[in-house]
Amino acid sequence: QIATLIKESRANIVINQPIYKMTFRTVSISGRPANIADAIMNIQQIMEDRYNEVSKIEFECKPLNVKTTQTNVKLIVDRKIADGLTSKKQPNMIDILQDEYSVALKIYQDRKNRQLDHKDYICSFQGTIEHVQAAILEVTRKIKNDIRTIFDGKKSYTIRMLINKVFVTKLIGAGGCMIQEIANFSKGASIKIMSNKHDEKKSTCHDIPVCIGGSFCSVQDATCIIIEQMECFKNGGPVSYIYYNAI
């Protein structure tokens, strides 16, 4: 049916991956304005024709509550960044994050994950989505302030996040449309999954690295959106997009 719609409208139509417990899915339509309009009219007609065949079509999941939903986010940081966070200088960065944002924070190495370098450390944040996002923003601000000193003048830094490989295809979306939507919303962040299907089948590790690059503002936005999206995959409910630069 999708192939027929594409042929008739001459527009590119991509249906996004379903999200667990959600009744709605996103549809991406691109092409010339007239072709997009034709595709929308054809899809609308199909939905109207099939309306009575679908039970509870008006049901909509409640938005994810970022103030109460718990999450556990794992960032990959360079050893020099980890040393800066665990420095015994007062005030200690870990103590500040735990006290100010009410998150449980641990920094450690995972030798079992072959996709990580020996210089890589995992920075694990646990708490509500809102508090974890705020704590991660604080860490990225520290990285931004220290980056030139730590890395000899380097002006940009890529955030790497570990996500469960179960959610990799969902994060990518059909034809890469979900990653593209997140990249566009975050003003041009570059998002790359650091694995392939062959590696995933051979690997016994459950976590896959995701690299988020670009300006610090776009990296912060994309990171926060992905954190929210991961919980939506687990719990259901739509993503409530927010601009995070004001935080």
Q: What is the pLDDT along the chain (247 residues), one digit of tens a residue?
A: 888 889 899 998 887 765 555 566 778 899 999 999 999 999 988 888 777 666 555 555 566 788 888 999 999 988 888 887 887 765 677 888 888 889 999 999 887 877 888 889 999 999 999 999 999 988 888 777 766 665 555 556 688 999 988 888 878 877 777 888 888 888 888 999 987 555 545 555 688 899 998 888 888 889 988 998 888 777 654 444 443 333 3
* DSSP letter, residue 17: P
pLDDT score recorded for residue 61: 52
Tell me the pairing of strands 70-78 and 120-128: antiparallel
Two tokens, residue 212: 């988020």
* pLDDT value of residue 176: 79
pTM beyond 0.85: no
Instruction: Enumerate the H helices of the chain as residue ranges.
Output: 2-9, 33-49, 79-85, 93-101, 129-150, 168-172, 177-185, 197-202, 216-235
Q: What is the pLDDT of residue 244?
A: 39
The two three-digit tokens of residue 226, written as one number? 């992905």
Per-residue confidence (pLDDT) for residue 59, from 0 to 100: 53
pLDDT at 83: 83
Q: Strand 12-15 vs strand 70-78: parallel, antiparallel, or unpaired? A: unpaired
Which pLDDT score is estimated for 9? 92
- The answer to whether 95 and 188 have CB atoms below 8 angstroms apart is no
